[in-house]
Structure 1
Amino acid sequence: MLMSSTARPAKLHYMANGFRVLVSGDHVVCAVSGEKIALDALRYWSVARQEPYASAELATKAALTP
Structure 2
Amino acid sequence: MLMSHAGRPAKLHYMANGFRMLSSGDHVVCVVSGERIPLEQLRYWSVEKQEPYASAEISTRAALGA
Shorter-chain TM-score above 0.5: yes
How many equivalent residue pairs? 64
Structure 2 residue matching 1:58: 3-state secondary structure: helix
1:8 aligns with 8
Give the alignment's TM-score, normalised by structure 1: 0.91
Letter in 2 for 1:33: S
Q: List per-residue Cα deviations over 1:39-59 (Å, max 9, x = no partner).
A: 000000000000000000000
Q: List per-residue Cα deviations over 1:8-62 (Å, max 9, x = no partner).
A: 1000000000000000000000011000000000000000000000000000010
Indicate the percent of aligned positions where both proteins have the same amino acid.
73
Question: Any runs of at least 4 consecutive aligned residues in structure 1 with deviations exceeding 6 A, and if so which?
Answer: none
Supply the RMSD in Å over aligned alpha carbons.
1.4
The structural deviation recorded for 1:4 is: 3.5
